[in-house]
Structure 1
Amino acid sequence: MKTKEVVELIGVSQDTLRYYEKVGVIPPVGRDKNGYRIYKDSDLNWVYLVKHLRRAGVSIESLIEFCRLGQLPKDYDIQNQQKQILNNQLGELNEKLETVLNARDLLQYKIDNYDNHIAKINADTIDKDSVERLWEKKLNN
């Protein structure tokens, strides 16, 4: 598959594809007799994986190391190192996800209760000492 087709299929720019290959986030891509990149399915898998992991916040450094290990001769220890990189990234993403979900729950609570809260403010039934304690709310945590 040519670069233009990969751009359309995976949704990354040509510059991004070149950058990924240059820094070693994906293995080197084969070329045809004219020097144009020809992407195989295994290359597409790398690009797809990297695109989505980058969007989720996985560092370039982690992806470079994962790719570097993937190009070494097959060895149980190397494969375990690759798996550990993935596990570490999954742990980090789960922590970020929990943080985002907690923020979402808090925002949803504020939106759901906004009109009632404003009505109390407008009726002068809330003062500085009678505000709710958001930190004590149990919001789907």
Structure 2
Amino acid sequence: MYKINEAATIAGITAHTLRYYEKEGILPPIERDSGGRRIYSEENIAWLDIVTCLKKTNMPMKEIKEIVRLSIIGDQTIDDRKKILMDHKRKMMRQLEELQDNISKIDKKIAFYEGADEC
């Protein structure tokens, strides 16, 4: 079990962000101890890992919340969650192709400039 600052450190985010995620339904409900302090389990840490991954890949918060909502409902929503992730992956693959194309163009320009330096 982890306290909020420990969980935030593991996830690479701030405690403030962690509270925001909980408040906004971006994480499943978090348990609390007898003093009302949040306690994070390994399962919560795993959720934080996937949420931060999806956020870093620019998945809209609305879709992240939907995955969480569907997960709370149960296994009957696996196909729906899988579809959201597959759609997101397709978007990422298109972005990757575009990025690779742009890198190639930059490499050509660098090669051009390197050739110009030799003159």
Per-residue CA deviations over 1:71-122 (Å, capped at 9, x if unaligned) read: 00331xx1100110110111111111111111111112211221324667xx
Q: Structure 1: how far apart are the matches of 2:89 and 2:102? A: 20
Q: Which has the higher contact order (CA 8 A, sep 6+)?
A: 2
Alignment gaps of 5+ in structure 1: 121-141
Instruction: Map 1:50-129 to 2 at 5 A.
Output: 50-75=51-76, 78-117=77-116
Identity %: 28
Specify the alignment match of 2:12 in structure 1. 11
TM-score by length of 1: 0.78
Specify the alignment match of 2:32 in structure 1. 31
Q: Which runs of 4+ in 1 moved over 6 A?
A: none
Q: Structure 1: how far apart are the matches of 2:44 and 2:16? A: 16
Q: Which has the higher helix share?
A: 2
What RMSD, in angstroms, separates the aligned Cα atoms of the two structures? 1.5
Alignment gaps of 5+ in structure 2: none
The aligned length equals 118
Specify the alignment match of 1:22 in structure 2. 23
